């Protein structure tokens, strides 16, 4: 088990499809924020082309000039040779570290002798897996969202030296990926003619039960939690475990305010139990962390 650390703040990749000018403005604000590590790139759907590779690289350089550690993120589900070509280009960018979100990226990066991060969609469920990947170049891992505090504690008690642990601490949780585009289907459109409907839902399209309860959010081929996973009240405990970074997943509104709240809590300016509920699309959840159903919230 690590000793308590000076936990840093990271910003995950934008999971949604936002207009180019809005995305550019968002990262201008991020450059002036106290977040230390920024992950960039399209992780959901390759058809989202308003920001291309060169745009991501230019944004990465701007953020690096602002003092941020920049990591390029890869897609979680690859379905075509063109997507593999883009993956190779990201892995061989020659400038920035890469977050691998599937094992194809892990294989490319390890074969090239490059250090890498694994994202929350790479299923590392025990210290043996962590050690195996560390031997191939892993230097940081993001715990899969469905794992609990007790599981994290067990993994970290036998984690390899020099590997950082990052925890997804705020955001709608990416739960599953599919070859089918649910957003297109909701509009009775085929995937090949989706008309880029995702851009109409900057935080995903909330799916409700027959009882009108928010259940899931659909984001193209990705299924998310409707509620926002929020571990701000758990920050003191998270730090005591030795977690190196806590990740905020961007949302279309209030992300900078959320960054500030986490930053202040990490620096003792305010208590981590201050509520962010009013900044969330559909309210909070933290069930997985507490070994409960993921959509539940401990304080309920």
Residue 6 CA to residue 4 CA, distance in Å, equals 7
Burial of residue 36, with CB atoms counted within 10 A of its CB: 0-12 exposed, 13-18 middle, 19 or more buried: middle
Contacts by 31-34 with C-beta closer than 8 Å and gap 24+? 31/62, 31/63, 31/66, 31/68, 32/66, 33/256, 33/259, 33/260, 34/9, 34/259, 34/260, 34/263
DSSP states along 236-260: HHHHHHT--EEEE---SSSHHHHHH
Q: Which pLDDT does position 271 carry in this prediction?
A: 62
Neighbouring residues of 155: CB distance < 8 A, sequence distance ≥ 6: 124, 126, 127, 130, 143
Q: Which pLDDT does position 273 carry in this prediction?
A: 54
The answer to pTM > 0.85 is yes
Taking 50 as the threshold, does the pLDDT of residue 1 lie above it?
A: no
What are the structure tokens assigned to 249, written together? 């997943």
Taking a C-beta distance cutoff of 8 angstroms, is the pair 50, 23 a contact?
yes
Sequence-ordered alpha helix ranges (H) in 92-173: 103-111, 127-134, 149-156
Taking 80 as the threshold, does the pLDDT of residue 298 lie above it?
A: no
| Closest of 1, 4, 3, 2 to residue 236, by C-alpha | 4
Q: How many residues does the chain have?
A: 300
pLDDT band at 3 (very low <50, low <70, confident <90, very high): very low
User: Of 8-17, 28-37, 277-286, which gets the smallest average pLDDT?
Assistant: 277-286
HSE-up of residue 280 (Cα within 13 Å, Cβ side): 21
pLDDT band at 275 (very low <50, low <70, confident <90, very high): confident
What are the start-end ranges of the E strands in 152-277?
A: 164-177, 205-208, 214-219, 222-230, 245-248
Taking 90 as the threshold, does the pLDDT of residue 272 lie above it?
A: no
Neighbouring residues of 268: CB distance < 8 A, sequence distance ≥ 6: none
Average pLDDT, the chain: 94
Taking a C-beta distance cutoff of 8 angstroms, is the pair 165, 143 a contact?
yes
Report pLDDT digits (tens) over 235-261.
999 999 999 999 999 999 999 999 999
Report pLDDT digits (tens) over 19-43.
999 999 999 999 999 999 999 999 9
pLDDT band at 116 (very low <50, low <70, confident <90, very high): very high
Characterize the bridge pairing of strands 97-100 and 284-285. Answer: unpaired
Residue 124 CA to residue 164 CA, distance in Å, equals 13
Report pLDDT digits (tens) over 53-89.
999 999 999 999 999 999 999 999 999 999 999 999 9
């Amino acid at each position: 088990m690590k000793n308590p650390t000076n936990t840093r703040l990271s910003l995950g990749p934008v999971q949604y499809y936002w207009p180019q000018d809005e995305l550019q403005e968002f990262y201008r604000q991020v450059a002036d924020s106290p977040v230390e590590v920024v992950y960039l790139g399209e992780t959901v759907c390759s058809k989202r082309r308003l920001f291309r590779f060169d745009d991501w690289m230019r944004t990465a350089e701007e953020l690096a000039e602002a003092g941020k550690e920049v990591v390029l993120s890869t897609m979680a589900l690859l379905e075509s040779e063109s997507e593999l070509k883009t993956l190779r280009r990201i892995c061989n960018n020659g400038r920035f570290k890469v977050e691998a979100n599937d094992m194809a990226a892990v294989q490319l990066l390890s074969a090239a002798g490059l250090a890498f991060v694994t994202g929350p969609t790479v299923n590392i469920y025990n210290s043996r897996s962590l050690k195996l990947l560390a031997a191939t170049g892993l230097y940081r891992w993001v715990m899969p969202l469905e794992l609990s505090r007790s599981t994290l504690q067990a993994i970290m008690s036998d984690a390899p030296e020099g590997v950082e642990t990052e925890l997804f601490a705020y955001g709608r949780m990416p739960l599953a990926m599919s070859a089918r585009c649910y957003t297109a289907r909701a509009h009775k459109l085929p995937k090949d003619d989706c008309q880029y409907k995702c851009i109409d839902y900057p935080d995903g399209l909330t799916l409700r039960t027959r009882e009108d309860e928010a259940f899931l959010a659909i984001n193209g081929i990705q299924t998310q939690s409707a509620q926002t996973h929020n571990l701000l009240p758990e920050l003191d405990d998270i730090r005591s475990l030795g977690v190196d970074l806590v990740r905020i997943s961007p949302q279309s509104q209030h992300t900078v305010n959320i960054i500030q709240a986490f930053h202040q809590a990490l620096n003792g300016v305010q208590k981590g139990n201050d509520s962010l509920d009013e900044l969330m699309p559909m309210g909070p959840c933290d069930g997985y962390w507490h070994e409960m159903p993921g959509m539940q919230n401990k304080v309920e």
